[in-house]
Amino acid sequence: MTFNDIFRSSFLENVTSVSPLDMALAMILAFALGVFIFLVYKKTYSGVMYSSSFGVTLVALTMITTFVILAVTSNVVLSLGMVGALSIVRFRTAIKEPLDIAFLFWAIAAGIVLAAGLIPLAVFGSIVIGLIILFFANRKEAANPYIVVLQCDGAESEKRAFEFLSGKTKKCVVKSKTARKGSVEVNAEIRLNSDDTDFINELSELPGVESAVLVSYNGDYMG
């Protein structure tokens, strides 16, 4: 063993394993793809409450995945240690929207492909995925479902209310019904013939109908 071997540092040798140009290019592209994913997420979000922090997480996740994969591809030993380190990480945050899972995997996949040097695939794939999500997320059904919440004073008024609804809507299906002494509450899913919702005012004025509430229903929650 020579004198130079004694003071040789494997840590310093790894400093130049990834060139500064590759690092700068990968991180800039990761940021650009992360912003694109964030904009698609913001445009297609249809949940109850929008979370801006989740959008920022998508940008950060793309960049974090990129520099992790850059380190892994430059050192085989490091890749084995990274697998062991990540295997003990547990994420407890609940995903409320099913589409959010797709955005998380999209951000991770974009960072992996980009760090692997497959830049055209990362850019082209992200554009195609974004266009597909925009197309399907912005599609509107011909007859949007609604939930009608009725409060009546008895069975007769309930019957009159549903006869009225049947004449004003394409479809009327009871989802739940709660009966109390002197009061009946019914939740019904309806499909409108048009965008006109003035019928709910007429419904509330029927004899025995105490209140009538119309709620837009997108299938993510029960009315």
Find tokens 């019914």 and name the residue: 186
**Model's pTM, two decimal places?**
0.60
* pLDDT score of 223: 38
Is 122 in the same domain as 153? no
Boundaries of domain holding 73 = 3-137
pLDDT of residue 3: 45
State the total domains in the chain.
Answer: 2
Query: Does 87 share its domain with 187?
Result: no
Burial 91-116 (b: 16+ CB within 10 A, else e): eeeeeebebbeebbebbbbbbbbbbb
Backbone angles phi, psi at 179, to 5 degrees: -110, 125
| Same structural domain, 124 and 14 | yes
Q: What is the 3-state secondary structure (H, E, C) of 58-114?
A: HHHHHHHHHHHHHHHHHCHHHHHHHHHHHCCCCCCCCCCCHHHHHHHHHHHHHHHHH
Residues 64 and 110 occupy one common structural domain: yes
Q: Among 137, 163, 185, which residue terminates a domain?
A: 137
Q: pLDDT tens, position by position, for the chain (223 residues)? A: 454 544 444 544 555 566 778 788 888 898 999 999 999 988 887 766 667 788 888 888 888 888 888 777 766 555 555 555 555 556 566 666 778 888 888 888 888 888 888 888 888 988 999 899 888 876 655 456 788 888 888 788 888 888 888 887 888 888 888 888 878 888 888 887 777 777 888 888 888 888 888 887 655 444 3
DSSP 88: T
